[in-house]
Amino acid sequence: MQRTIVQPPVLEGAALAELKHWLGISRPNDDAALTGLLETSVTICEAFTGQAPLRQTVEEIIPLVSGWQELVSRPVQDLTGAALIGNDGTRQPLTIPADTLDVRIGGKASVQLLQPLEGRGLALELVVGIAAQWNGLPPPLRQGIIRLAAHHYRDREGKASAVPPASVTALWRPWRDTRLG
C-alpha cells in the first residue's frame, strides 16, 4: 500500500500562536521555522499514535485483489474519490457504485472489491483526522505536539534524540492505536 498526503493539515494561526506563547516569542521572525517544527511534531504524533491528529486529505493506493483490505490511514472520516490506475499508469475516475466497491468506515476503514478490475491498483482519496482544526484537537494531543515542537526549537543544535521526550509520549500514549501483524 502506498500513501501520499494530498492536502496537509493547516498549522498556522492558532497552533502557531500557542507554540509562540509556550516559548514566550512575540516577534514574527521565527514563524516559518516554528511552523515547520509544528508540521514535524504532527507527523511524529501520527507515527506514534497511528492516527492523524488533524484533518488532512490523503491518497492510498491499494492492489486490485479480492478480500477485505484495511487502509493504513486512520481515523478515516470520508472516502471522497477513487480512480482505477491502468497498466500504463493512467487514471480513470470511478464512481463508487455498490456493486464495485464495499467500504467500511468507522475510524479503521476497510475496502473490498466486489468485481474484478484490471490495472495496477486503485487510488482512494480519503479525509482523515481526529479533529478538523487545531482548537478541536484533544488537549493531550495538542499539548504533546506543542511540547515536542518547543523541545526541538530549544535544542536547535541537533542534540535531540529521535525519540519524543517521555513527557510527550505520556500525553500521547492513551491515543496510541496498536496494530498486530
Sequence spans of domains, the chain? 2-53+131-175, 60-127
Look at residue 42 and tell me whether its pLDDT is greater than 90: yes
Identify the residue with better confidence: 108 or 133. 133
Mean pLDDT of 155-169: 79
User: The C-alpha cell of 106 is what?
Assistant: 468507522
Look at residue 160 and tell me whether its pLDDT is greater than 70: no
pTM of the shown model:
0.87
Among the residue ranges 67-71, 136-140, 160-164, 173-177, the one predicted with the least confidence is: 160-164
User: The C-alpha cell of 128 is what?
Assistant: 482523515
Q: How confident is the model at residue 180 (pLDDT cuts 50, 70, 90)?
A: low
139-154 vs 31-49: helix crossing angle, rounded to 10:
130
Helix (H, G, I), strand (E, B) or coil at 94: strand
Whether omega before 75 lies within 30 degrees of 0, making that bond cis, reads yes
Residue 154 CB contacts under 8 Å (≥ 6 apart), including other chains: 23
What CATH number labels 2-53+131-175?
1.10.3230.30
Look at residue 131 and tell me whether its pLDDT is greater than 80: yes
Q: What percent of the chain has pLDDT over 90?
A: 69
14-23 vs 139-154: helix crossing angle, rounded to 10:
60
CA distance 68 to 180: 16
